[in-house]
Amino acid sequence: MNNQTHPDFDNNEFMAELLTALQSEISVEFADISYKNDTCPSLGYELKHSQLLQCHVEYKNPDLREYSLEESKEVVIFNLYNSEGDIAYSASLKEFNVNTAIKTAQTLLQLNLI
C-alpha cells in the first residue's frame, strides 16, 4: 500500500496488513479513505444510515507525527461516526497490533447507533 495523500508515511506495511485483516476477518469492504489534511492516513467502512467506522494509523516514526509521544501515545485510532457526522464512540490502541485492532473494530461494528 502506497499512500498518495501522505507520501512520507512510513507505516505502509502495517496499514496494508490491517486492511487485509479487516476485510478477511470481518468480511466488510474497508478502503483507504485518507484525506490530505488529516494528520495520518485512515481506513474506513461506511455502515448503513450514513454511519462511518474510520481507523487512523499513525506514523511508525514518532518524529513524523503531529503530536509527540508525550502528548499522545495512541497509534491506531478508531472513530465510529453517527449519521450526523459526530463521533459516537472512539477507541485507541497504544501499539501496532493487528489482532487487537480487529477485535476493536468488531466491537465498534456491533454497536447499534440507530
User: pTM for the full model?
Assistant: 0.89
Domain regions of the chain by residue span: 12-109
Residue 101 is predicted with a pLDDT of 97
Task: Please report which confidence band the pLDDT of residue 1 belongs to, taking 50, 70 and 90 as the band edges.
Answer: low
Four-residue CA torsion sign, 14, 20, 25, 29: positive
- Choose among 60, 24, 27: nearest CA to 41: 60
**CB within 8 Å of 35: residues ≥ 6 apart:** 5, 42
Cβ 43 vs Cβ 19: under 8 Å: yes
CA quadruple 113, 98, 56, 6: dihedral positive or negative?
negative
Q: What is the pLDDT of residues 25-64, one digit of tens each?
A: 888 889 999 988 888 999 999 988 889 999 999 999 999 9
